[in-house]
Amino acid sequence: MRYRLDVVGTSIADVVQNAGGWLFDRAVAGWDVTVMVPGTGDARPLQILGAEMLDLETVLAAGGRGRRPQALAVAANICEVDSRARSGLLKALGHGGIEVVVWGEGWPLGSDHGVDPVLHRLSLAAQAFKAHALAAGAVPMTSVGSTELFRSGVLDHPPVGADLSPVG
């Protein structure tokens, strides 16, 4: 059985800029990584990172049926514009067995959910592949950093190969 990471972002560029290195490192570690964004676009940046792309609307319209990831990563601002994404995030947090990671400004669910800042240290390969993915998506960026910062719901038992570290 392969672990599965589902990622929900506002755009391909949003996902690559904020979580591209982490997605690459998870894909290389053997995870199935699926990115869901509104509409269609050039999936090449995601393919460079080892991820596949699905249309977010199609997945949300189906109520997420058939999706059972071990980890879920979400752009905070997608929850502000789509109540179904917010509902899915709440459901994942309530499940307790799903690693939940959010990037972007603010925490979309208020302060009543226990979350902590975490970071991922990108491998050298992740830094290189993220740079190529950004270039393929024509995303302007001067350099790729060595870490990516997220907020995460606390898990009693992190998944095998957990690669996020507490900040501080």
Q: What is the mean pLDDT of residues 133-140?
A: 88
**Residue 89 confidence (pLDDT) above 80:** no
Q: What is the mean pLDDT of residues 134-149?
A: 87
Alpha-helix runs per DSSP H in 36-151: 44-49, 56-61, 76-81, 83-95, 124-136
pTM: 0.86
86: confidence class by pLDDT, cuts 50, 70, 90: confident
**Residue 15 confidence (pLDDT) above 90:** yes
**Residue 121 confidence (pLDDT) above 90:** yes
Q: What is the mean pLDDT of residues 96-121?
A: 75
